[in-house]
């Protein structure tokens, strides 16, 4: 959406592009996610996430005219909940559902709105999974991302910049899960042996936020 | 179909075989209870299915409540997410119980079979927590537990019948359930070898084999009728030989 020649926010075009890029990046990293999950979990994360996002793609074509970014987020939520199968289904499903609620009926989302959406998504994952920072879960990517997004939004950075900050922080957070001992999820059964491996949920979270940032950058450049 | 007036049970597992196997196992002691399996993904893989769990809750719900038991983490997450999508009335009568799936499922099934209300079925499932120390797992009843010393004293001043177990397979799941069901029809507290007779897991964990001595006791004479009834059931071999 262009207003006075300046990109002021992220709209439905961005949201749909984000989902397509998400599906692509998850497919590209499917084997990597499976490998990470096989090391400390049940080995199905890459396959489950790929199935979930591939199931979203055809539904994008059925979006009604006048749909909002919130509608897209809700579509992703319900599809992931029904198709993913592992813990990632309810966790990501809840994240997208809470994000959709935070987006409301807004046609365009500015930096402050993006920070609010990311906060709602993270809070949804926390309430569903009961994990805390340092438990070696996707929260360890999400919480730094939310903190970075809040700081960027408070500094007046635009929506694309907020997502870029969030993606950078999520990637660093995912890497930082490597030495941690898992306290939640299937990896917690491994105890100390879970240290030395990156958490697959934190990794997929970072991938999805990077896809959002890339879509936002493309949208801002358009 | 859900049995009207009775609590339904939903078993959520990553494995379809575990969920249906548990229905089969619990069915032995709860032949008419509503027991629903929601195991595996929609297409039969290992995992949990939001759609199967949602449909299972609906199937198990007669209006008297549903107790949901889950195995590993994401089964609980899926069940909780399914609850979020229910309307408020339906959600209010569904309980996800934190208890071992098999032991809790069997204990809850016996309570549901007996027509116990929702909170009692929940307590029966929860009694399976720490089933290794099942002598104190009598959450279904008063929760009052006699230690061994007190029990001997109670037996001396109360009423005790001692019999020998005649069942060839010992006090296995089905006769144990029969005993618990009968004990639950009496308001008095009765113990079997010091364990609450209303606690299925407690009774099963006694591991009584054929020929074992079974002391059925009440602290006082008000429990005499209950003790006699349980003794008669045990002496009859629980309908087995």
Nearest to B50 among A42, A81, A128 (CB): A81
The CATH number for B21's domain is 3.40.50.510
Considering the domain architecture, whether residues B67 and B156 belong to the same structural domain is answered as: no
C-alpha span between A140 and A158 (Å, rounded): 24
Considering the domain architecture, whether residues B57 and B124 belong to the same structural domain is answered as: yes
Whether residue B113 lies inside any domain: the answer is: yes
Last residue of a domain, one of B77, B100, B129: B129
Considering the domain architecture, whether residues B63 and B156 belong to the same structural domain is answered as: no
Helices (H), B28-100: 50-60, 73-84, 88-92
Which pLDDT belongs to residue A76?
Answer: 97
Poorest-pLDDT segment among A45-59, A117-131, B91-105, B209-223: B209-223
Both structure tokens of B123: 């307590």
How far off is chain A from B31, nearest CA to CA, in Å?
31
Last residue of a domain, one of B129, B146, B177: B129
C-alpha span between B110 and A153 (Å, rounded): 57
In degrees, rounded to 5, the angle at the alpha carbon of residue A125 between the alpha carbons of residues A179 and A105 is 140
At A63, the pLDDT band (50, 70, 90 cuts) reads very high
Considering the domain architecture, whether residues B114 and B21 belong to the same structural domain is answered as: yes
Answer yes or no: do A91 and B77 touch at CB < 8 A: yes
8 Å CB contact between A170 and A141: yes
Nearest to B80 among A44, A128, A184 (CB): A128
In a mutational test of the A interface, the residue from B38, B39, B49, B74 whose CB has the highest number of chain A CBs within 10 Å is B74
- Region B20-37 average pLDDT: 94
Both structure tokens of B69: 């038991």
Domain of B49?
Answer: 8-129
Q: Residue B150 above 80 pLDDT?
A: no
Domain count, chain B: 2
Check: complex ipTM more than 0.90 = no
Whether residue B38 lies inside any domain: the answer is: yes
Which pLDDT belongs to residue B128?
Answer: 85
Q: Residue B143 above 80 pLDDT?
A: no
Residue B34 phi, psi (nearest 5): -85, 110
How far off is chain B from A128, nearest CA to CA, in Å?
7
Domain segments of chain A as ranges: 6-221
How far off is chain A from B51, nearest CA to CA, in Å?
6
Both structure tokens of A195: 């240290």
**Count of other CB atoms within 10 angstroms of residue B85:** 14
The CATH number for B196's domain is 3.30.1340.10
Answer yes or no: do A94 and B73 touch at CB < 8 A: no
Which pLDDT belongs to residue B148?
Answer: 40
Which residue is catalytic, options B7, B13, B14, B82? B14
- Region B169-179 average pLDDT: 85
Whether residue B188 lies inside any domain: the answer is: yes
Considering the domain architecture, whether residues B112 and B221 belong to the same structural domain is answered as: no
Q: By three-state DSSP, how is residue B232 classified?
A: helix
Count how many pairs of residues, chain A against chain B, have C-beta atoms within 8 Å: 48
C-alpha span between B154 and B196 (Å, rounded): 14
Give the pairing of strands B8-13 and B34-39.
parallel
Which pLDDT belongs to residue B132?
Answer: 44
Residue B132 vs residue B54, higher pLDDT:
B54
C-alpha span between B94 and B66 (Å, rounded): 5
pLDDT digits (tens, 9 = 90+) for B46-71: 989 999 999 999 999 999 999 999 99
Whether residue B2 lies inside any domain: the answer is: no
C-alpha span between B231 and B218 (Å, rounded): 12
C-alpha span between A61 and B14 (Å, rounded): 32
Whether residue B106 lies inside any domain: the answer is: yes
Which residues have C-beta within 8 Å of that of residue B156, sequence separation ≥ 6?
none
8 Å CB contact between A74 and A15: no
Residue B158 vs residue A171, higher pLDDT:
A171
C-alpha span between A149 and A116 (Å, rounded): 9
Considering the domain architecture, whether residues B54 and B165 belong to the same structural domain is answered as: no
The mean pLDDT of chain A is: 93
Strand partners, B70: B12
Considering the domain architecture, whether residues B149 and B188 belong to the same structural domain is answered as: yes
Q: Residue A44 above 60 pLDDT?
A: yes
Which pLDDT belongs to residue B1?
Answer: 66
Q: Residue B146 above 60 pLDDT?
A: no
Considering the domain architecture, whether residues B14 and B125 belong to the same structural domain is answered as: yes
Q: In chain B, which residues have their Cβ closer than 8 Å to the Cβ of A91?
A: 77
pLDDT digits (tens, 9 = 90+) for A141-198: 999 999 999 999 999 999 999 999 999 999 999 999 999 999 988 888 888 899 999 9
Considering the domain architecture, whether residues B119 and B15 belong to the same structural domain is answered as: yes
Considering the domain architecture, whether residues B198 and B150 belong to the same structural domain is answered as: yes
Query: Residues 80 to 99 of A: which have CB under 8 A from any B CB?
Result: 81-83, 85-91, 93-94
- Region A60-86 average pLDDT: 94
Which pLDDT belongs to residue B241?
Answer: 57
Q: Which residue of B has its CA nearest to A184?
A: B73
- Region A53-64 average pLDDT: 96
Query: Residues 96 to 155 of A: which have CB under 8 A from any B CB?
Result: 128-129
Answer yes or no: do B77 and A128 touch at CB < 8 A: yes
Which pLDDT belongs to residue B239?
Answer: 79
Which pLDDT belongs to residue B141?
Answer: 40
Which residues have C-beta within 8 Å of that of residue A117, sequence separation ≥ 6?
A73, A99, A102, A103, A109
8 Å CB contact between B108 and B69: yes
Answer yes or no: do A85 and B80 touch at CB < 8 A: no
Whether residue B25 lies inside any domain: the answer is: yes
C-alpha span between B238 and B224 (Å, rounded): 20
**Strands across the sheet with B34-39, in order?**
B34-39, B8-13, B66-70, B94-97
CA dihedral (A174, A99, B97, B75) positive or negative: negative
Q: By three-state DSSP, how is residue B191 classified?
A: strand
At A8, the pLDDT band (50, 70, 90 cuts) reads low
C-alpha span between A7 and A1 (Å, rounded): 6
Answer yes or no: do B78 and A44 touch at CB < 8 A: no
In a mutational test of the A interface, the residue from B73, B83, B86, B98 whose CB has the highest number of chain A CBs within 10 Å is B73
Q: Which CATH class is domain A6-221?
A: mainly alpha
Quick one: B187 exposed, middle or buried, by C-beta within 10 A (0-12, 13-18, 19+)?
exposed
**What string of H, E and C letters represents the secondary structure of B83-136?**
HHCCCHHHHHCEEEECCCHHHHHHHHHHHHHCCCCHHHHHHHHHCCCCHHHHHH
The mean pLDDT of chain B is: 86
Last residue of a domain, one of B78, B110, B129: B129
Q: Among B104, B111, B110, B61, which residue's Cα sits nearest to residue B82?
A: B61
Answer yes or no: do B77 and A44 touch at CB < 8 A: no
Considering the domain architecture, whether residues B119 and B142 belong to the same structural domain is answered as: no
Q: Which residue of B has its CA nearest to A124?
A: B81
Considering the domain architecture, whether residues B119 and B176 belong to the same structural domain is answered as: no
Q: In chain B, which residues have their Cβ closer than 8 Å to the Cβ of A128?
A: 77, 80-81
Is B14 in the active site?
A: yes
Which pLDDT belongs to residue B156?
Answer: 55
Answer yes or no: do A93 and B73 touch at CB < 8 A: no
């Amino acid at each position: 959406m262009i207003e006075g020649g300046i990109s002021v926010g992220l709209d439905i075009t961005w949201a749909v592009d984000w989902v397509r890029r998400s599906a692509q990046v998850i497919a590209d990293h499917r084997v990597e996610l499976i490998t990470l999950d096989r090391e400390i979990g049940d080995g199905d994360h890459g396959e489950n996430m790929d199935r979930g996002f591939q199931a979203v793609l055809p539904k994008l074509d059925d979006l009604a005219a006048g749909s909002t970014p919130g509608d897209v987020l809700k579509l992703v939520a319900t599809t992931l909940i029904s198709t993913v199968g592992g813990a990632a289904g309810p966790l990501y499903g809840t994240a997208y559902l809470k994000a959709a609620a935070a987006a409301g009926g807004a046609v365009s989302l500015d930096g402050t709105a993006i920070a609010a959406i990311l906060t709602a998504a993270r809070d949804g994952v926390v309430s569903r999974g009961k994990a805390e920072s340092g438990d070696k879960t996707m929260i360890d990517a999400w919480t730094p991302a939310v903190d970075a997004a809040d700081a960027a939004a408070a500094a007046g950075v635009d929506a694309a910049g907020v997502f870029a900050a969030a993606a950078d922080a999520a990637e660093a957070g995912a890497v930082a899960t490597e030495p941690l001992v898992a306290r939640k999820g299937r990896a917690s059964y491994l105890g100390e042996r879970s240290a030395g491996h990156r958490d697959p949920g934190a990794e997929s979270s970072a991938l999805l936020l990077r896809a959002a940032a890339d879509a936002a950058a493309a949208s801002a450049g358009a | 179909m859900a049995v009207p007036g009775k609590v339904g049970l939903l078993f959520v597992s990553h494995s379809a075989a575990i969920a249906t196997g548990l229905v089969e196992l619990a069915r032995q002691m709860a032949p008419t209870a509503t027991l629903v399996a929601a195991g595996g993904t929609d297409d039969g893989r290992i995992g949990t299915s939001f759609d199967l769990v949602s449909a299972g809750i609906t199937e198990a719900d007669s209006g008297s409540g549903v107790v949901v038991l889950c195995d590993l983490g994401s089964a609980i997450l899926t069940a909780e997410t399914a609850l979020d999508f229910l309307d408020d009335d339906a959600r209010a009568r569904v309980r996800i119980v934190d208890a071992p799936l098999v032991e809790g499922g069997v204990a809850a099934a016996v309570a549901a079979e007996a027509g116990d209300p929702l909170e009692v079925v929940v307590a029966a499932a929860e009694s399976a927590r720490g089933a290794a120390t099942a002598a104190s797992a009598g959450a279904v009843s008063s929760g009052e537990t006699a230690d061994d010393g007190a029990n001997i004293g109670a037996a001396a001043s109360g009423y005790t019948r001692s019999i020998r177990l005649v069942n060839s397979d010992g006090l296995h799941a089905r006769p144990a359930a029969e005993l618990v069901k009968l004990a639950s029809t009496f308001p008095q507290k009765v113990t079997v070898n010091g364990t609450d007779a209303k606690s299925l897991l407690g009774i099963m964990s006694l591991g009584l084999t054929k020929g074992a001595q079974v002391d059925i006791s009440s602290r006082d004479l008000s429990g005499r009728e209950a003790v006699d009834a349980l003794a008669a059931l045990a002496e009859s071999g629980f309908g087995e030989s």
